[in-house]
Amino acid sequence: MAKAAAQPKSGIRKLKPKEVLFKDNDPAESLFIIQRGQIRLFKPKGRGYIELAILRAGEVIGEMAYFDEKQSRRSASAEALISTDVIEISFQAFSKTMSTLNPWFKTIINTLANRLRATNDRVKQLEGNSVGFGKGGRISGYKFFHNQDLVRLFSLSYMVFKTHGKLQGNKVCVNQATMKFYIFEIFAMQEAKYVEFMELMKAESVIDILNDANGQPNILAISNIDRLRGYLEFFNTQRMLTDDKQLNISSKCEIFLRKILDQILKKGAKGDVINVNISSILDDFKERHVVITKDDLSDAISEGFVKELIVDKGNILTAEVQYSLLKKMYSSIRILNAVKALNEQKAKDTNA
C-alpha cells in the first residue's frame, strides 16, 4: 500500500491523561494497539463533537485507514482518558506482515474490514445527538451534558447504590460492573458521558473510586446516598424550566457564597435568616488578591439567596442571607457550575 515516504517508527508510546494520540484529518501512517489505559474516540462537528467510543486494553485504533486506499487521513480524533500505553505499528511494518499471509487469509481480513467500515459509516450518520441546531441550521449551543443526561445519571446512580450497595465502614459501596450494567446494557447511555460523570463526582467529593481486592479501581463508594437524590431533584427541576428561569450563579458568586457559609459556620449563628458582614469577606478577597467584588453577589441577590446589601454603621456592608435555603442548595450550585465549566471546556477543545 502506497503511503508517505517518511514512515513513523513502531514502538510503545506513553500518553498522559487528555494527551492527543491523533486529530481528525491528521495523516494516517500507523495503527495502534492499546496495551493499558483508555482511549476516547470522537468526531468534531460544528462547535461540538460526536462521541464515538471508548477503547481499552487489547483493542486496536486506526487500522481502518490501512485497509481503505482512499482514507489517507484520520476520520476521528483520539485522546487518552487516563495514563495509557499504546503500541504503535507503522503501516509500512504492518504491510510487510500482511505480505507474508496466504492470499485466502488476506481476502478474509479485507472483507471483514470492508464490512466494519460500512457499519462505522452508518453509525456515524446516526450519532448526531451531541450537537444542537437552531434556525437555518445554525449551531444553537453545544453541550456535552444536558440536564436530561444528568437526571438519568443521578437517578441510575441513586437506584444502584440504594438497591445493590453494601455498607463498608461509613460508606455504601457497589462494584462499577453493576453500575455499568444498568447504564450501558439497560439504558444504553454513552460511555464517554458515564466516564466524565464519574470523574466529576470524584472531583466534587461525592463519589470515591476505590481499589478492589485485586488492586483495580472498580469500587464506587459514597457516604451519603441522599446527596444523589438531592441532585436528581435539582436537575429534574432545572430540566422543566425555560432557560431564563433556570438557576444561574456565576463561578465568582459561588466563591462568594462559600465564604458567606464559612463565616456563618465560624460564628455558629443559627436561624433561617442570618445577617452577614459582607465587608469582611471583601477585605479577605482583597488581601488574598482575589478579583471578586460586591457586584459578583448580584446573581445570589437575584436568585433570592441574599437580600440587597445595606451600608451599616462605620460604612460596613451587611446583608441578610437565607441561610437554610443556601445551605440546602449550595452543593447543587457547585455541581451545576462544574457541569457548565466542563461543557465550556469540551466546546472549546473541539474548536481549538
Task: Give the pLDDT confidence of 231-261 residue by residue, as tens digits.
Answer: 999 999 998 888 889 999 999 999 999 999 9
Length of the chain equals 352
Contacts 24+ apart (CB under 8 A), 339-348: 339/145, 339/150, 339/200, 341/251, 342/144, 342/145, 342/196, 342/200, 343/142, 343/143, 343/144, 343/145, 346/48, 346/49, 346/142, 346/144, 347/47, 347/48, 347/142, 347/143, 347/144
Give me the helices (H) in the chain, please: 64-67, 91-99, 103-126, 147-164, 176-180, 191-203, 225-240, 251-267, 278-287, 298-302, 323-351
pLDDT of 136 above 50: no
pLDDT of 130 above 50: no
Mean pLDDT, rounded, for 303-317 = 91
Half-sphere exposure for 334 (CA within 13 Å, toward CB): 18
Distance CA 236, CA 332 (A): 12
Q: What is the dihedral of CA 79, 81, 85, 88, to 10 degrees?
A: -20
List the chain domain ranges.
11-126, 147-243, 251-351
Predicted confidence band at 135 (pLDDT cuts at 50, 70, 90)? very low
Q: pLDDT at position 109, please?
A: 63
pLDDT of 4 above 90: no
pLDDT of 273 above 90: yes
pLDDT of 34 above 60: yes
> What cell was used for 221?
463508594
Q: What is the dihedral of CA 313, 316, 317, 320, to 10 degrees?
A: -60
Beta-strand relationship, 20-22 and 77-80: antiparallel
Distance CA 107, CA 97 (A): 14
Predicted confidence band at 93 (pLDDT cuts at 50, 70, 90)? confident
Q: pLDDT at position 277, please?
A: 94
pLDDT of 120 above 60: no
Q: Compute the mean pLDDT over every residue in the chain, rounded to the nearest whole number.
A: 83
For the segment(s) 11-126, the CATH number from 2.60.120.10, 2.40.170.20, 1.10.540.10, 3.40.50.2300 is: 2.60.120.10
pLDDT of 99 above 80: no
Distance CA 205, CA 225 (A): 13
Q: pLDDT at position 119, please?
A: 52
Q: What angle do helix axes 323-351 and 251-267 make, rounded to 10 degrees? A: 150
Mean pLDDT, rounded, for 303-319 = 91
Residues 312-323 pLDDT 10s: 878 899 999 999
Contact status, residue 35 vs residue 1, Cβ threshold 8 Å:
no
Predicted confidence band at 303 (pLDDT cuts at 50, 70, 90)? very high
Has this prediction a pTM greater than 0.85?
A: no
Which residue's entry shows cell 460544528? 46
What's at 183, amino acid-wise? I
Mean pLDDT, rounded, for 61-74 = 72
In the three-class reduction of DSSP (H, G, I as helix; E, B as strand; rest coil), residue 320 is classed as strand
Measure Cα distances from 241 to 147, 231, 283, 298, 338 in Å. 10, 16, 37, 21, 20
Mean pLDDT, rounded, for 137-155 = 76
pLDDT of 129 above 50: no
What's at 115, amino acid-wise? R
Q: pLDDT at position 41, please?
A: 87
Mean pLDDT, rounded, for 12-35 = 89
End-to-end CA distance of the chain: 32
pLDDT of 104 above 60: yes
> What cell was used for 277?
458582614
Weakest mean pLDDT among 102-106, 112-116, 190-194: 112-116
Distance CA 126, CA 27 (A): 26
Q: What is the DSSP string of 48-72?
A: EEEEEEEEETT-EES-HHHH-TT--
Weakest mean pLDDT among 94-108, 151-165, 298-312: 94-108
Q: pLDDT at position 137, please?
A: 41
Q: pLDDT at position 48, please?
A: 64
- The CB density around residue 147, as the number of other CB atoms within 10 Å, is 19
CATH 1.10.10.10 is the classification of domain 147-243? yes
